[in-house]
Amino acid sequence: MMIRLTAALCAALCAALCAPAASATATNPPYLLKPARVFDGVDPKPHEAWTVLVRADKIEAVGPNVPTPADAIVIDLPGKTLLPGLIEGHSHLFLHPYNETSWDDQVLHEPLALRTARATVAAKATLLAGFTTVRDLGTEGAGYADVGLKQAIEQGIIPGPRMLVATRALVATGAYGPKGFEANVAIPQGAEEADGANLVTAVRHQIGAGADVVKLYADYHWRPGEPSRPTFSQAEMQAAVEAAHSAGRIVAAHANTAEGMRRAVLAGVDTIEHGGEGTPEVFKLMRERGVTYCPTLAASDAVARYRGWNGADPAPPMVAQARKAFGLARAAGVTLCVGGDVGVFAHGENAREIELMVAAGMPAAQVLVAATSGNAQSFHMGDQIGALKPGLLADVIAVEGDPTRDIHAVRAVQFVMKGGKVYAK
Ligand SMILES: [Zn+2]
């Protein structure tokens, strides 16, 4: 009786405290994964006939002669390539494609509960597409709902990727949107407005509320229809970056203009998003300062298609500009992040960015390294995820075929494991 009570109490406590009841525990038998080949996320060359041993939530062994423990569950994956779970570098789980509902209408008219319910579906689609981690760069008007979404995933309530969240993101007063209303009326905005000393206060508030990454808009369209121009001063961003870094958070800067990029880089941000007007000089500066570039090719591609482009050459100016910046960044040797700004296009279609980077000239294996160990390092998570090596979290996917030979294989996801738990097989 005593034992049964204790066990019941234990189960109740575990449900309440060790909430990832859904994740593997040390008492579960280990998994031996036997694919045709293993792409470890670091070496651009896949290894034929390697296997991966997973125990609890971690990778225990990887290689050609991993012994099979007597109690192991063997998962045969013939013809398939095993990879580390892919890492989405730039998502918005609280947005859905703009050809369904405009960004303005999502921010202004969709109830928070609707947006959150939709985000749970987006999270599941992301995970099942093989993206086991996302850096979600702002809820775009959905407040701090990303923090709750992340908790729901961590507690095993809903399936979804690991999340690095930015919460509301930060914009200079007057710079962001939605715009075009009577100026005396307070209109809900897609991010939090803050300037000067208040910017540091806002950074700290967002971190205290759950932000893993601080997102700053270094430039934007001040008025509808005008080109992007810088918003924050370099000094403002530098103070924000210092506050974020001292709290152990990374900083992402939205920047399209060369001057916005230059200020953000000199201010010490970790990644630059978009960068369409980046010049050879600014990419050289990024390389020197070790700033990662997230070109978001898929976002400009998607928006151009919503405006009627059929994908054929010649590409419209916004697509051509993104491809050019990508080429300049590669020529300058800048570290590249893989992040498509997914949410502008459908969640679960995250592989589009990978395909477009390959189409723009980057070798497939290099893009896959960038989408795994590369993103992990840029986000300061290289000691936890991004590679198939002993001691890292068991975030592992299998795709049909060999994506280093044909990149489109990354869409043929046949198996998804996150933290040692199998989500799709
Ligand atoms: Zn974005």
For residues 286 and 249, the answer to whether their CB atoms sit within 8 Å is no
Q: Is the pLDDT of residue 3 over 60?
A: no
**Helix spans in 271-346 (H):** 280-289, 297-306, 317-332
221 CA to centre of ligand 1 in angstroms: 15
107 CA to centre of ligand 1 in angstroms: 14
Res. 366 pLDDT band, cuts 50 70 90? very high
Q: Extract the tokens encoding 73.
A: 């569950």
5 CA to centre of ligand 1 in angstroms: 50
> Residues 126, 129, 132, 137: what is their CA dihedral angle, to the nearest 10 degrees?
-40
The per-residue pLDDT for 424 is 87
The per-residue pLDDT for 26 is 52
What percent of the chain is modeled with pLDDT above 90?
93
The per-residue pLDDT for 425 is 81
375 CA to centre of ligand 1 in angstroms: 16
What percent of the chain is modeled with pLDDT above 70?
94
Comparing 18-22, 247-251, 340-344, 386-390, the range with the smallest average pLDDT is 18-22
Task: Give the number of other Cβ atoms within 10 Å of residue 136's Cβ.
Answer: 29
Tell me the mean pLDDT in the region 146-174. Answer: 98
* pTM (predicted TM-score): 0.94
**CB-count exposure of residue 111 (10 Å: 0-12, 13-18, 19+):** exposed
For residues 203 and 210, the answer to whether their CB atoms sit within 8 Å is no
Res. 28 pLDDT band, cuts 50 70 90? confident
Tell me the mean pLDDT in the region 373-400. Answer: 98
91 CA to centre of ligand 1 in angstroms: 6
Residues whose CB falls within 8 Å of the CB of residue 397, separated by 6 or more in sequence, listed in order:
82, 83, 84, 85, 86, 130, 132, 413, 415, 416, 417
Task: Give the number of other Cβ atoms within 10 Å of residue 38's Cβ.
Answer: 26
What letters, b where the CB count within 10 A reaches 16 and e where it falls short, cover 347-370? bbbbbbbbbbbbebebebbbbbbb
Q: Is the pLDDT of residue 12 over 80?
A: no
Q: Is the pLDDT of residue 74 over 60?
A: yes
User: To the nearest whole number, what is the mean pLDDT of the chain?
Assistant: 94
Q: Is the pLDDT of residue 19 over 80?
A: no
Q: Is the pLDDT of residue 22 over 70?
A: no
pLDDT tens digit sequence for 264-318? 999 999 999 999 999 999 999 999 999 999 999 999 999 999 999 999 999 999 9
Angle between helix 317-332 and 280-289 (nearest 10)? 50
pLDDT tens digit sequence for 182-231? 999 999 999 999 999 999 999 999 999 999 999 999 999 999 999 999 99
Q: Is the pLDDT of residue 14 over 80?
A: no
- 327 to 24, 217, 332, 334: CA distances (angstroms): 43, 23, 9, 10
DSSP bridge pairs for 80 = 400
275 CA to centre of ligand 1 in angstroms: 12
The per-residue pLDDT for 154 is 98
312 CA to centre of ligand 1 in angstroms: 25
For residues 96 and 141, the answer to whether their CB atoms sit within 8 Å is no
137 CA to centre of ligand 1 in angstroms: 6
190 CA to centre of ligand 1 in angstroms: 11
Between strands 228-230 and 219-221, the pairing is antiparallel
The per-residue pLDDT for 18 is 37
Q: Give the C-alpha separation, 293 to 322, whole Å.
A: 12
101 CA to centre of ligand 1 in angstroms: 16
